[in-house]
A and B are shown apart, each in its own frame.
Chain A
Amino acid sequence: MTTTQSQTTEVVDMITVVIDGFEVSVPKGTLVIRAAEKLGIQIPRFCDHPLLDPVGACRQCLVDIEINGRAFPKPQASCTIPVEPGMIVKTQLTSDVAEKAQRGVMELLLVNHPLDCPVCDKGGECPLQNQAMSNGQAESRFEGKKRTFEKPINLSSQVLLDRERCVLCARCTRFSEQIASDPFITLNERGALQQVGIYEEQPFESYFSGNTVQICPVGALTGASYRFRARPFDLVSTPSACEHCASGCDMRTDVRRGKTLRRLGGDDPTINEEWNCDKGRWAFKYITAIDRLAQPMVRNSDGELVVASWPEAIAAAAAGLSGAKAAVLVGGRATYEDAYGYSKFARVALGTNDIDFRARVTSDEERDFLAAHIVGTSTTYKDIDKADHVLLVGFEPEEESPIVFLRLNKQVRKRKLKVTSIGTKLSIGVEKLGATFVKVAPGAESAAIASQSLTAQSLILVGERASESAGALSAVAALAAQSGAKIAWIPRRAGERGALEAGAIGNLLPGGRPVTDAAARVDLASAWSVASVPTNVGRSTKEIVSAINSGELSALVVGGVDPLDLDNSTETLSALKKAFVVSLEIAPSAVTERADVVLPVAAVTEKSGSFLNWTGSARAFDAAVADSLNRSDVRILSMIADELGKTISLGTVSAAAREIASLGPWDGARAAFTATPAGSAATLAADEALITSWRRLLDLGTLQKGEDNLAGTARQTVAVISPKRASAIGVTTGDQVSISNSLGSVVLPVLVEDIHDDAVWAPRNSRGSELLAKLGSAHGVVVKVVKA
């Protein structure tokens, strides 16, 4: 638990204090407990946490303090007192008074603490257990009856509370209030009955609730999924990277006998600062799901998928791809190395630039924007710390990149950072940030962006949904050019930034080399030792699908893509049926059902690799499940390429990583960007609205399968309409409305809230609201909204 607080570069006043006879100089404002840590003196503590405000709740860190010869009459809590000049501190090591005080506090804490360490999940990694051994006494003098409560109670479907174990340190309540701004839990009652509680009508449905389990210094808060599953000594821990979003969290994966049992937030002060979100923490059951693909499969002459050996399957894949006009869909979840593998495979083995990593609603404007403004750039979380104004465009930080939200929230709390969000509906996250909300109709974002005034210190955070509104990205580029503000692009999926840098897109080659630049192509061809790389700008996901349906393309290599993430899912499904499809997947999906060759690949805990987060920095990780037989995509692609006779020589992940490093980024001119004009506003009838949506953090996502406890904390699925529309169609909050178009309809309970009068909002992929699957579109399209 080292301090990660202030990393300011300006000169700070240093104060010298004496702790246990040793002098130490620390910046002004440092707490005594932290100054002691600097000397290697550990003062026992429970409530103290370097990232939370001091509270002095547990009283375990009592020390003797004397300032300029005047001693405090009683021992003081070292976690609440900042150092002062002339301070002489005596900890338990040199002061009998402090030692006795700590021993006494520990004894009092243990009076009501049950001796159920054998059944407690924290047993073996418990600060209370450890510090009772190091600073407590072995014998208890307490002979009365311990306070007991009914146990455990659910704070949410995922977080369980054993009240008698709680030492009232208030770490969890402080975290919820100060870090997540979700003050759903609080300390109720007083005295011996004091306990952590939830408001009766609002469960602990915070996206960050898992952090309270991690920082609980006793076993009072436990996660339902890990409860009773293992002991710390059973687990093999591996530092890993989170595969769920582009925030780029450091994680720790705990594996017992080849099975992932737990994931914890790692401590990376530059990114996630010990925290992570519940999705990153708990959504890993898909890895051990029983329906994982284990063996390669090949479609036989009867049209059935049958299990085949690896050589057979590779040969079948190569036979189908050889000579065919093929394209590659990568999906946004590939690691950097895997995406590079796909990129090189498309160019070298298939001889095409028809590759796209964007398995979502996209536009050509976005592709050009990424090539001109994003690829090869780097941002840091520090840019948020330093920004004078952060503008959010098509981006819901809490839902789409939760650690970015935490960082924004920290700056809002610390220095009232000005945040402006341009969107159609005021979201909970934006409300928590106290942001200026610029309400626009779906499709009218670009005008609102253009009207913003930013400075050179400002930061524009552009989400992937900005591509759904024509002209929005052009307006962002223009705003940045005019104001000097920095642009950062925050996709939702973990692999998208890496795939962009790896050139898994039609207009870019690896390292950000523009396809249209002859010098870049020559540079790459010589690095790859091939005669040439294809010269035409490749097709986008949508164009690939229609090219297959029109017969221009006949084969497809598909990574982790869900056709229902696209706004042309019907065409995509028929294209998958029509083309010769090689699918590299971890579990059966709509793609594998229609594929001709299915090749099982490793899930993220089973392979090594790296993810590039939205800032452009990489987090490499090793396989957590070391003895998995599954292989990374890049190795399998390499085998197919060998079979095709057009080798890509990427037999291992490390070979790919080395090749990426030696290739380096492009230092030539960037691709030019032509602005796209904004779309025209649609005219709406009285019962018509423009649909708008985003994906919630916890929804029906593929990687959240099998974790019901986590799904239980998802936000309620509602359709949001404005008060004006509500009165027009005669509904109030709680009534059902039907949202429909020619393709289908969804019926949802309605919530009347702050949203543009022309818009209706619904979650994009939550239960009952699978917009892309049912309506075929999710933003800016006219739908009918009527009372159901």
Chain B
Amino acid sequence: MSDQLEPKASKDVDVNNVEFTPVVNNGPSSLPAQLKGFWITFRTMFKKTLAVEYPEVKAPTQERFHGRHQLNRHPDGLEKCIGCELCAWACPADAIYVEGADNTEENRMSPGERYGKVYQINYLRCVFCGLCIEACPTRALTMTNEYELADNSRSSLIFEKDDLLAPLRAGMLMPPHPMYPEADHHTYYRGEVPEAHPSQEVNK
């Protein structure tokens, strides 16, 4: 292949015999043409401005904007993440690190057998492509619209599981706690668990 890329010998290039294209300069535009241009400027002065005084004013993003991730919870507070690492596998930037672990009766973080013990997203690497969201089999990982992801240290931009977990909403209990009575992981995935049951309160 390289023999087709042989450099030209210096005698092949004649600097004194280069083709020139003359620059066409017809002088200033005519007055109507100039008025037409200025009219656009003038007209825009009376339009509503789109720019906002960020950071004092924060405009909402589009609904499906790819912002910071969130690790969701089931309605009773158990984590949806099962530590399967499919997000990490899908990630083209290798920004996600997950370690799975066993749920035990005493320490249940998610329905089923497995939960994500370590969950990290490195926002210095993340390109917000959303492939991780597509890969997630339990809808545990979604993206919020939050876009303010700047900081002044590397370590603070590696988000841990605590930083990514969704807040506890009404009816949720902080895991670890047992599963909803009579429920198994299938019930959870079908969304049949409405909210935490009093019997799940073990931490109090």
- Report whether A118 and B89 are in contact in the complex, using a CB–CB cutoff of 8 Å: no
| A118-B137, A119-B114 known; A231 vs B85 contact (CB < 8 Å) | yes
Q: Are A233 and B100 in contact (CB under 8 A)?
A: no
Contacts of A229 in B (CB 8 A): 99-100
A229 to B89, CA, bound (A): 15
B60 vs chain A, min Cβ distance (A): 34
- B82, A231: Cβ atoms closer than 8 Å: no
Interface set, chain A 108-138, CB cutoff 8 A to B: 118-119, 123-124
Chain A: number of interface residues, binned into ranges:
10 to 19
Q: Mark A253-265, 1 if CB is under 8 A from B, else 0.
A: 0000000000000
Are B102's CB and A233's CB within 8 A? no
- Among B88, B89, B114, B137, the residue within 8 A (CB) of A228 is B114
A227 within 8 A of B: yes
**Distance between Cα atoms of A58 and B84 in the complex (Å):** 28
Main secondary structure of the interface of A (DSSP, over half): loop
- Nearest A residue to B115 via CB reads A228
Q: Are B89 and A233 in contact (CB under 8 A)?
A: yes
Check: A96 CB closer than 8 A to any chain B CB. Answer: no
A640 to B29, CA, bound (A): 88
Q: Which residues of B contact A304 (CB under 8 A)?
A: none
Bound-state CA distance A233–B100 (Å) is 14
Is A231 within 8 A of B89, CB to CB? yes
Q: Does B95 sit at the interface, judged by CB under 8 A?
A: no
Q: Determine if B130 is an interface residue (Cβ-Cβ < 8 Å).
A: no
Is the beta-carbon distance between A123 and B99 smaller than 8 angstroms? no
Q: Please give the distance in Å from B96's CB to the nearest CB on chain A.
A: 11
* B88 / chain A contacts, CB cutoff of 8 Å: 231, 234
Inter-chain CA distance A229–B101, complex, in Å, is 6
**Would you call B201 an interface residue if the criterion is a C-beta within 8 Å of the partner chain's C-beta atoms?**
no
User: Cβ of A230: which chain B residues have Cβ within 8 Å of it?
Assistant: 85, 99-100
**B83 contacts the other chain (CB 8 A):** yes
Contact yes or no, A234 B85, CB < 8 A: yes
B residues near A119, Cβ cutoff 8 Å: 82-84, 100, 112-114
Proximity bits, B85-120, A CB within 8 Å = 1, else 0: 110110000000001111000000000111000000
Mark interface residues in A644-683 (1 if CB within 8 Å of B CB, else 0). 0000000000000000000000000000000000000000
B84:A124 contact, CB within 8 angstroms: no
Which of B116-167 touch A at CB < 8 Å? 137-138
Question: Which of B85, B88, B112 has the largest count of A CB atoms less than 10 A from its CB?
Answer: B85
Chain A hits for B99, CB < 8 A = 229-230
CB distance from B185 to the nearest CB of A (A): 9
A-B contact count (CB 8 A): 34
Q: Which residues of A contact B114 (CB under 8 A)?
A: 119, 228
Q: Which A residues lie within 8 Å of B138 (CB)?
A: 118
B138 to chain A: closest residue by CB: A118
- Across the interface, name the chain B residue whose C-beta is closest to A257: B97
Q: Which residues of A contact B83 (CB under 8 A)?
A: 119, 228
**Contact residues in A for B86 (Cβ distance below 8 Å):** 118
- Set of chain B residues within 8 Å of A227, measured between Cβ atoms: 102
A518 to B84, CA, bound (A): 66
Bound form: Cα–Cα A338–B12 in Å: 65
Name the distance in Å between A143's Cβ and chain B's nearest Cβ: 16
Interface code A145-156, partner B: CB below 8 Å = 1, 0 otherwise?
Answer: 000000110000
Residues 25-51 of chain B: 1 if any A CB is under 8 Å from the residue's CB, otherwise 0? Answer: 000000000000000000000000000
Q: Give every chain B residue within 8 A of A231 (Cβ-Cβ).
A: 85, 88-89
Bound together, the chains give a CA A229 to CA B100 distance in angstroms of: 6
**A228 and B112 within 8 A (CB):** no
Q: How far is A234 from B101 in the complex, measured between Cα atoms in Å?
A: 15
Whether A118 pairs with B102 at a CB distance below 8 angstroms is no
Q: Inside 8 A of A234's CB, which chain B residues have their CB?
A: 85, 88
CA distance A97 to B100 in the complex (A): 43
- Which chain A residue lies CB-closest to B102? A228
Q: What 1/0 flags go to A212-245 for Cβ under 8 Å of B?
A: 0000000000000001111101100000000000
- Measured in the bound complex, the distance between the Cα atoms of B83 and A227 in whole Å is 12
The closest CB in chain A to the CB of B86 belongs to: A118
Docked Cα-Cα span, A233 to B82, in Å, equals 17
Give the chain A neighbours of B113 by CB distance below 8 A: 119, 151-152, 228
Nearest chain A CB to B119 CB, angstrom units: 14
Closest approach, in angstroms, between the C-beta of A233 and any C-beta of chain B? 6
Alpha-carbon distance A228/B112, docked complex (angstroms): 12
Q: Which of B112, B114, B138 has the most CB of A within 10 A?
A: B114
Q: How far is the CA of A769 from the CA of B88 in the complex (A)?
A: 48
Chain B residues positioned under 8 Å from A228 (CB to CB): 83, 100-102, 113-114
A203 to B93 CA separation, bound complex (whole angstroms): 46
Q: How far is the CA of A230 from the CA of B99 in the complex (A)?
A: 7
A233 to B135, CA, bound (A): 15
Which one, A118, A124, A151, A152, contacts B82 given CB within 8 A?
A118
How far apart are the CA atoms of A152 and B86 in the complex, in Å?
22
State A152–B100 Cα separation when bound (angstroms): 17
Residues in A whose Cβ lies below 8 Å from that of B101: 228
- A227 and B100 CA atoms in complex are apart in Å by 9
Q: How far is the CA of A230 from the CA of B101 in the complex (A)?
A: 9
Q: Which residue of A lies closest to B100 (CB)?
A: A228
Name which of A228, A229, A233 has the most chain B CB atoms within 10 A of its CB: A228
CB distance from A429 to the nearest CB of B (A): 34
Report the nearest A residue to B184, measured CB to CB: A148
A123, A124, A151, A231: which has the most chain B beta carbons within 10 Å?
A231
CA distance A229 to B84 in the complex (A): 10
CB distance from B80 to the nearest CB of A (A): 12
CA of A119 to CA of B86 in the docked complex: distance in angstroms? 10
* Docked pose: A179 CA to B100 CA in angstroms: 34
Contact across chains for B100 and A123 when beta carbons are under 8 A apart: no
Within A147-168, the residues touching B (CB, 8 Å) are 151-152
Known contacts A118-B82, A228-B101, A229-B100: A124-B112 contact under CB 8 Å: no
A152 partner residues in chain B, CB cutoff 8 A:
113
Point out the residues of chain A lying under 8 angstroms from B85, CB to CB. 230-231, 234
Tell me if A123 and B84 are in contact (CB < 8 A): yes
How many Å lie between the Cα of A123 and that of B86 in the bound state?
10
Chain A residues with CB below 8 A from B84, complex form = 118-119, 123
Task: With a 10 A CB-CB cut-off, give which of A118, A227, A231 has the most chain B CB atoms.
Answer: A118
Contact A124–B102 (Cβ < 8 Å):
no
Tell me, in angstroms, the Cα distance from A703 to B54 when the chains sit together. Answer: 61
Asked if B100 and A124 make an inter-chain contact with CB atoms under 8 angstroms apart, the answer reads no
Contacting residues, chain B, for A123 (C-beta < 8 A): 84
Q: How far is the CA of A124 from the CA of B138 in the complex (A)?
A: 18
Minimum distance in angstroms from B180 CB to a CB of chain A: 18
Q: Which residue of A has the minimal Cβ distance to B101?
A: A228
Please report the C-alpha to C-alpha distance between residue A229 and residue B117 in the assembled complex, in whole angstroms.
10
The 8 closest A-B pairs by CB, nearest first: A118-B84, A228-B100, A118-B137, A119-B114, A231-B85, A228-B114, A119-B82, A118-B86
Of the A-B pairs whose beta carbons lie under 8 Å apart in the complex, a sample of 8, sorted by A's number, is: A118-B84, A118-B86, A118-B138, A123-B84, A228-B101, A230-B100, A231-B85, A233-B89
Q: A119-B100, A123-B84 are in contact. List 5 more A-B contacts (CB 8 A).
A: A151-B113, A152-B113, A228-B113, A230-B85, A233-B89
Give the B-binding residues of A (Cβ under 8 A).
118-119, 123-124, 151-152, 227-231, 233-234
